[in-house]
Structure 1
């Protein structure tokens, strides 16, 4: 047994490939048929919340909660086991063997328990030689494994794509996934077949008839950039979904704690509108009432499970605002108004642009609030930042008995603590039939704030499709911390016969900024006020790899690797509030080596409206340009990149990096230490620094190497086996790391990709403490692996004593040679 607790690995994430020819999939010998998944599957999978920490008790307890909480009655029926359920080696007969510690009654015992609850059991496999966590894969064992799972009573197979030995062609993907389809058919037990190849080979073009669902994206993460990116990738694929063949944008993160309730409701709403599988990925044993309410919203679930089986069509998608239209079996339409921007926005669509038939008006039922209103020609709502409003809409012949749809939109510039004068602008719009009477608008900010109306806040009458504009001056008390603060807006009005009144509410989340603290700081540790980037988000401490967040590598300019910086693509702009307190910005700039360009880029640093430093044209492969900008007295800092036209007359998105940018504020001198201070523990400049394997090596080893380094001229080449090992050192004298909060090391993965994890030994007994999750790095890519102390767990009775660190280890797997450098603490 290898040292360390059970650990987890996230599945590899790849970008969707460009257009390729789509070979036809072979016809199945015994098609499982759409009856297996006439509607998108609903259930649970342990991966997002538990990773490799899966066992019999967790699966059975989850099945119990499905029944007791009402989730089973709402439609959740599959209880799915993900990676790490088996032993590391196959049995003597070649069969997969369940880990007897995790599953003392075997998978069949768990299946019997789950089936006894009226539920179904899912299992995990891999179309390669090893699973993503290094357990046996099914490549070359398809028939045996399918018979094994069928014999255990498995009802659902998630079939992953790690260690796939692929030549990268679409034909190979079709071949490998069709082999398992045929094996399932031959095994004689119907199983829902979930193809999990991350959208790499455009499975929506070939997988119908092979599986019932297929992943369209890389792995989801519990954060807003990940959710936004996956929606953007999956929403346009609506022509490819239908009964028995579904686009799968990955499992639900709802309840895992890193997003807001508004963002989680968007998650649930957009998955339902996209007819996506609803696979819960949180610990239901500790789920909050809000989490259960989101997951259990029957009206949203009904949209997802509608028997017509249509994925919502993208009606419009502009400037971060998207409208989806999903026809339903009873003739209604679900209309989603999605706001991916960072501020309140009014999102709307003409009813004539949807599939709704022409009518005098339309009834709109809000599937989150239950409110019912009517609109004459436009379906709209004031949608909060990162929010989604879902209406169930039907034609209405007698609109005058239903309250009108009234939107309250608003905008407000960035607020500065201790100042007044910012203008809050609100617009009340009547979208219903009939006239509004005696409209009154109010705005309420946090305690101590002043909101002074600068226009009348009332209007006598407001006809259909007419608006009332109101403004206030907003004052923020001195000392208000930087952050986001809600302002509530309410419009009250009369409608219909005398005596009828109603109100419409919205919430604007305002942003308060304060100047940076004294000292030299890495700019990536300071939150910008806003940023705009041509492709995907601005990346912190890595290059911009594409539309998804976190998909780049370490910034590399002309062969030099940087661990700090900002990755952008032209055209881009990042804005910071300085408040006149900062004096200097120093940075290197250049076009990232990972994305060579024939088009030059220009980098400009603005102090307010003045260009304080500019690079001039920079070409791919140029030595990094060093810029120093004088920011003395500036209120705002802006970083701007621009590119040429690539010979087509249209701007070209060039991968531009701000490498190692350092901001100097207060009385700090440029040569003062840069915060947060970092202490390097191992840099491998003089050798391997005593590094070795924690477990008996299986063709594994370490050697100093100049091939990859982020500190000095050398790093460490690490040769791993497929199953992986812990690599590190036990220092002669215990290390005192008191006061440090974060462990980091830099990694460049080999040709198979790898996972990275950090563990420490503490105390005289050398007790082993480690984090619960691995971080995947794609083949050939590089990144900084980070673990906060709160991520590191120790065995029962052991305290993480950082004053007595007796060993430091990193985990790498999947075989091949990987490179690491600069293990450090901050």
Structure 2
């Protein structure tokens, strides 16, 4: 890419006004008066000459970070009308629309290879037989919004017609089609200064009169965060992401230090989410946690139609989404990063603080901070609300957790005390979205413990106790490791509560549940495969391995 010219804009001189037009006789000033005025006005003139006036975008859009889906990461150029409409259907049927995923965004390769005779962009008729307007109408009928892609150059990154010097014509097309969001890329930009190109599209979108979120995919060049808020609703701070921990970590490191530039209507964007595209469950959860903590856009880049229950458990965690979407609009800041053990804190609109503990390293580690360091006012006690496991604990101020390799623990911290013990909940597996269940509502000792669709029965009502038990049936029966077994593969069963060590469990901050006697994890037999997460799959003890089939949350 040719580097842009960094020439300064020249101010436009005001047109001279004739004295007669002012309706008064203009007398020449004396040299003394002229000199006095220059001395008085010089500082003001210098101030305005040296500090151009910022122009705020203020289009009223994206007051919280945009949420939705984009086809590029999973499909590249293989975008079609059918894909977009099926994804819109799935956002509704899965409940993700209700969670806040509003935008269905088309990326590159949606158009024909050349403009029409009038210079207009033309949707590829094979990919979009109903045109973009037809797709927009369908998406809107689902209560969702449509996004589209272009580039601030002569061609898009895939070589299709770009919008450079066609800004108003293309913006008018987008508006006429019913587009609600524009991702504007940076390829083939001919070295034209960044702000000039992006401001041109900003003004063109505004001139259409249609509310269109403006997403600047400018790759983090030209320190875009220093001027982005006056031009767009969000701006890429990084290069393209891919589905690897190293790529995610690089984008996190670039974005995390830019909190001062973000706020309602103007967001730092470390790129789309790769959750569901090949990283481990632990790494996927870290990406989603970090993006939420940084008030980043939550734009899924996976094929949601075929996403696993484990992937959907991440995209659909309402407590984590609430941190990202908090109305205060503050991006989380890093308050500690020693040795790759990161602590981020994000103030929330109700006075709570979201704290994320992130372990960049390849082995588990303890990460610690305090409520005071996180920005909470002094209090006698604090509640640690774990946003992934949905467990609660009370602390006098210490915030500490053992965090798995490449993993995160995320808390919402508030003044006061609360606890999970003594409260009854379903215990839901991340790999299946099914509940811990006593087989066939049976209560006899030795009854098989399994997963089953959550139904609210007493055989799924789990009550953690201060003694570490997990009781069912109003507290009369306990989860039990068969025969006091401590080896991988030991069956987990129902048994009368007797205080044995094989009936004691730890609900860990990382979302695992471990047997006190064995140190092994509560595991859905068969691993993370969909075939091993069907109704009736038995529970067992197994070596902790970070799999989604060993991750649990209280409902």
Normalising to structure 1: TM-score of the pair? 0.46
Structure-2 residue corresponding to 1:157: 182
Matches within 5 A, 1:429-444: none
The yes-or-no answer on 1:193 pairing with 2:234 is no
Structure-1 residue corresponding to 2:162: 137
Moved over 3 A (4+): 22-26, 398-403, 442-448, 486-493, 505-510
Looking at structure 2, the residues matched to 27 and 227 of structure 1 have their Cα atoms a distance apart, in angstroms, of: 33
TM-superposed CA distance for 1:507, in Å, is 8.1
Contact preservation (8 Å) 1:443, 1:487: no
Distance 1:91 1:179, change over 3 A: same
Distance 1:365 1:194, change over 3 A: same
Structure-2 residue corresponding to 1:173: 194
Structure-2 residue corresponding to 1:292: 312
The yes-or-no answer on 1:111 pairing with 2:136 is yes
The partner residue of 1:42 within 62, 67, 79 is 67
Contact preservation (8 Å) 2:392, 2:419: no
The yes-or-no answer on 1:80 pairing with 2:100 is no
TM-superposed CA distance for 1:362, in Å, is 1.0
Contact preservation (8 Å) 2:380, 2:396: yes
Distance 1:492 1:376, change over 3 A: farther
TM-superposed CA distance for 1:27, in Å, is 2.2
Structure-1 residue corresponding to 2:55: 27
Looking at structure 1, the residues matched to 129 and 174 of structure 2 have their Cα atoms a distance apart, in angstroms, of: 17
Matches within 5 A, 1:711-790: none
The partner residue of 2:337 within 317, 325, 330 is 317
Give the secondary-structure state (helix, strand or coil) at the position aligned to 1:341.
coil
Structure-1 residue corresponding to 2:204: 183
Q: Which has the higher helix share?
A: 2
Looking at structure 2, the residues matched to 50 and 355 of structure 1 have their Cα atoms a distance apart, in angstroms, of: 42
Matches within 5 A, 1:154-553: 154-166=179-191, 172-256=193-277, 258-396=278-416, 490=516
The yes-or-no answer on 1:91 pairing with 2:91 is no
Structure-2 residue corresponding to 1:459: none
TM-superposed CA distance for 1:37, in Å, is 0.7
Measured against aligned partners, the alpha-carbon deviations of 1:232-277 in whole angstroms (never above 9, x if no partner) come to: 1111111111100000000011111x21111111111111000000
Looking at structure 1, the residues matched to 231 and 415 of structure 2 have their Cα atoms a distance apart, in angstroms, of: 39
TM-superposed CA distance for 1:354, in Å, is 1.4
Looking at structure 1, the residues matched to 124 and 275 of structure 2 have their Cα atoms a distance apart, in angstroms, of: 29
Distance 1:509 1:284, change over 3 A: closer
Matches within 5 A, 1:555-574: none
Contact preservation (8 Å) 1:231, 1:270: yes
Measured against aligned partners, the alpha-carbon deviations of 1:341-372 in whole angstroms (never above 9, x if no partner) come to: 00001111022211111111211111111111
Q: 1 or 2 for the larger relative contact order (CA 8 Å, sep ≥6)?
A: 2
Looking at structure 2, the residues matched to 129 and 443 of structure 1 have their Cα atoms a distance apart, in angstroms, of: 68
Unaligned runs of 5+ in 2: 7-49, 423-465, 469-483, 491-511, 520-540, 547-555
What is the aligned residue count? Answer: 400
Looking at structure 1, the residues matched to 302 and 372 of structure 2 have their Cα atoms a distance apart, in angstroms, of: 40
Measured against aligned partners, the alpha-carbon deviations of 1:85-136 in whole angstroms (never above 9, x if no partner) come to: 0001011000100000000010000001111111100000100111000000
Looking at structure 2, the residues matched to 337 and 97 of structure 1 have their Cα atoms a distance apart, in angstroms, of: 48
Contact preservation (8 Å) 1:255, 1:282: yes
Looking at structure 2, the residues matched to 76 and 24 of structure 1 have their Cα atoms a distance apart, in angstroms, of: 38
TM-superposed CA distance for 1:491, in Å, is 8.2
Looking at structure 1, the residues matched to 305 and 97 of structure 2 have their Cα atoms a distance apart, in angstroms, of: 15
Contact preservation (8 Å) 1:25, 1:207: no
The partner residue of 2:172 within 130, 147, 156 is 147
Contact preservation (8 Å) 2:294, 2:324: yes
Contact preservation (8 Å) 1:320, 1:341: yes
Give the secondary-structure state (helix, strand or coil) at the position aligned to 2:229.
coil
Looking at structure 2, the residues matched to 401 and 366 of structure 1 have their Cα atoms a distance apart, in angstroms, of: 11
Give the secondary-structure state (helix, strand or coil) at the position aligned to 1:363.
strand
TM-superposed CA distance for 1:377, in Å, is 2.0
Distance 1:202 1:376, change over 3 A: same
TM-superposed CA distance for 1:437, in Å, is 9.8
Looking at structure 1, the residues matched to 157 and 134 of structure 2 have their Cα atoms a distance apart, in angstroms, of: 25
Give the secondary-structure state (helix, strand or coil) at the position aligned to 1:319.
helix
TM-superposed CA distance for 1:488, in Å, is 6.5
Give the secondary-structure state (helix, strand or coil) at the position aligned to 1:208.
helix
TM-superposed CA distance for 1:330, in Å, is 1.3
Contact preservation (8 Å) 2:488, 2:543: no
TM-superposed CA distance for 1:401, in Å, is 9.2
Contact preservation (8 Å) 1:45, 1:79: yes
Looking at structure 2, the residues matched to 275 and 506 of structure 1 have their Cα atoms a distance apart, in angstroms, of: 36
Contact preservation (8 Å) 1:445, 1:487: no
Looking at structure 1, the residues matched to 350 and 297 of structure 2 have their Cα atoms a distance apart, in angstroms, of: 21
Looking at structure 2, the residues matched to 311 and 332 of structure 1 have their Cα atoms a distance apart, in angstroms, of: 14
Measured against aligned partners, the alpha-carbon deviations of 1:713-753 in whole angstroms (never above 9, x if no partner) come to: xxxxxxxxxxxxxxxxxxxxxxxxxxxxxxxxxxxxxxxxx
Contact preservation (8 Å) 1:352, 1:377: yes
Structure-2 residue corresponding to 1:8: none
Contact preservation (8 Å) 1:343, 1:385: yes
Looking at structure 2, the residues matched to 207 and 337 of structure 1 have their Cα atoms a distance apart, in angstroms, of: 29
Unaligned runs of 5+ in 1: 1-11, 404-435, 449-485, 494-504, 511-826
Structure-1 residue corresponding to 2:473: none
Give the secondary-structure state (helix, strand or coil) at the position aligned to 1:226.
helix
Contact preservation (8 Å) 2:384, 2:393: yes
Looking at structure 2, the residues matched to 241 and 25 of structure 1 have their Cα atoms a distance apart, in angstroms, of: 19
Distance 1:399 1:303, change over 3 A: closer
Contact preservation (8 Å) 2:104, 2:146: yes
Give the secondary-structure state (helix, strand or coil) at the position aligned to 2:268.
strand
Looking at structure 1, the residues matched to 131 and 342 of structure 2 have their Cα atoms a distance apart, in angstroms, of: 47
Contact preservation (8 Å) 2:362, 2:405: yes
Contact preservation (8 Å) 1:193, 1:213: yes
Distance 1:260 1:313, change over 3 A: same
Distance 1:193 1:387, change over 3 A: same
Give the secondary-structure state (helix, strand or coil) at the position aligned to 2:296.
coil
Looking at structure 2, the residues matched to 317 and 358 of structure 1 have their Cα atoms a distance apart, in angstroms, of: 24
Matches within 5 A, 1:586-601: none
Looking at structure 1, the residues matched to 200 and 135 of structure 2 have their Cα atoms a distance apart, in angstroms, of: 27
Measured against aligned partners, the alpha-carbon deviations of 1:603-639 in whole angstroms (never above 9, x if no partner) come to: xxxxxxxxxxxxxxxxxxxxxxxxxxxxxxxxxxxxx
Looking at structure 1, the residues matched to 419 and 282 of structure 2 have their Cα atoms a distance apart, in angstroms, of: 32
